[in-house]
A and B are shown apart, each in its own frame.
Chain A
Amino acid sequence: MSDVEADLVFHALADRTRRDIMGKVGEREHSISSLARQYEISFAAVQKHVAVLERASLVTKRVRGREKLVGGNAETLRRASRLLARYEQVWRHRDDAITRLLNERDERTES
Chain B
Amino acid sequence: MTVISSNPDRESLTMTIVCEFDAGIDRIWQLWEDPRQLEQWWGPPTWPATFEQHDFEVGGESKYYMTGPEGERAGGWWRMTAIDGPSRLEFEDGFSDEEGRPSEEMPTMKMTVTLAEDGGKTRMTVLTRFAALDQLEQVLEMGMEEGMKQALSQIDALL
Does B associate with A?
yes
Mark A residues whose CB is within 8 Å of B: 6-7, 9-11, 13-14, 19, 23, 78, 80-99, 101-102
Interface of B (DSSP majority class)? mixed
B contact residues around A11 at 8 Å (CB)? 134
CB pair B8 A85 closer than 8 Å: yes
Q: How far in angstroms is the closest Cβ of chain A from B75?
A: 17
A contact residues around B136 at 8 Å (CB)? 10, 83-84, 87
Q: How far in angstroms is the closest Cβ of chain A from B145?
A: 6
Q: Select one of A7, A82, A101 contacting B41, CB under 8 A.
A: A101
Q: How far in angstroms is the closest Cβ of chain A from B86?
A: 15
Mark B residues whose CB is within 8 Å of A: 1-3, 6, 8, 10-11, 15, 17, 19, 21-23, 27-28, 31, 37, 40-42, 44-45, 126, 128, 132-134, 136-137, 139-140, 144-145, 147-148, 151-152, 155-156, 159
Query: What are 28 inter-chain pairs, A to B, with CB distance below 8 A?
Result: A6-B137, A9-B133, A23-B11, A81-B10, A82-B159, A83-B133, A83-B136, A85-B155, A86-B140, A86-B145, A86-B155, A87-B8, A87-B139, A89-B151, A90-B148, A91-B15, A91-B17, A91-B19, A93-B44, A93-B45, A93-B151, A94-B41, A95-B19, A98-B2, A99-B2, A99-B21, A101-B41, A102-B22
CB pair A83 B137 closer than 8 Å: yes
CB pair B126 A91 closer than 8 Å: yes
In this complex, the member of A6, A9, A84, A91 whose beta carbon has the largest number of chain B beta carbons within 10 angstroms is: A84
